[in-house]
Amino acid sequence: MLGTPIATPLPPSGGSPAGPSIVAAVTKTMEEVTACTNATDLRRLAALLTDEQFRRTFGGIGQQFLTSLGTPTGLPEGESAPRISVSDVIVLPDGRVSAITEANGRKTLTVFREVNGAFLIDASYDLPLAGTPVP
């Protein structure tokens, strides 16, 4: 039985620029997201999310469902997930880290939480596309 997804909290604000080691760590997480997407491996992808973000993303399906999916097959030949760029990495007042991530022109504010030495995705917020306002 599926549960009700959890609402995404408001985007964080404030903080200071992250150092090179944190930038490298969150970039590595996003490279792993791309690799998991190319491999169609939802189990590995879910491991890159905090428990809170897992519930927001997958609702009430639970980790057991992901283990029942079988062996990942990968994307069809000739297809691949876009590379995700990382910029504007900020250490937030609460210790989490935010970054602007972008793939295929779509920008997201991605928030990371350090868990056991790895930066896991804790929240994400789609950012508006650039364009001309309509009167």
What is the model's pTM? 0.80
Instruction: Give the neighbor-by-neighbor strand order of the sheet with 118-126.
Output: 16-17, 85-91, 97-103, 106-115, 118-126
Query: Taking the domains of the chain in order of start, what are their residue ranges?
Result: 16-69+81-126
Mean pLDDT of 125-134: 69
Q: How far apart are CA 101 and CA 88, in angstroms?
A: 9
CATH, range 16-69+81-126 = 3.10.450.50
Which pLDDT does position 42 carry in this prediction? 85
Higher pLDDT: 7 or 88? It is 88
Q: 66, 46 in Cβ contact below 8 A?
A: yes
Q: What is the largest CA-CA distance in the chain?
A: 50
What is the phi/psi pair of residue 78, to 5°? Answer: 90, -10
Per-residue pLDDT of 52-87, as tens digits, reads 898 888 776 766 666 666 677 776 777 878 889 999
Per-residue pLDDT of 79-123, as tens digits, reads 878 889 999 999 999 999 999 999 988 999 999 999 999 999 999
Q: How far apart are CA 97 and CA 84, in angstroms?
A: 17
Q: Does the pLDDT at position 19 exceed 80?
A: yes
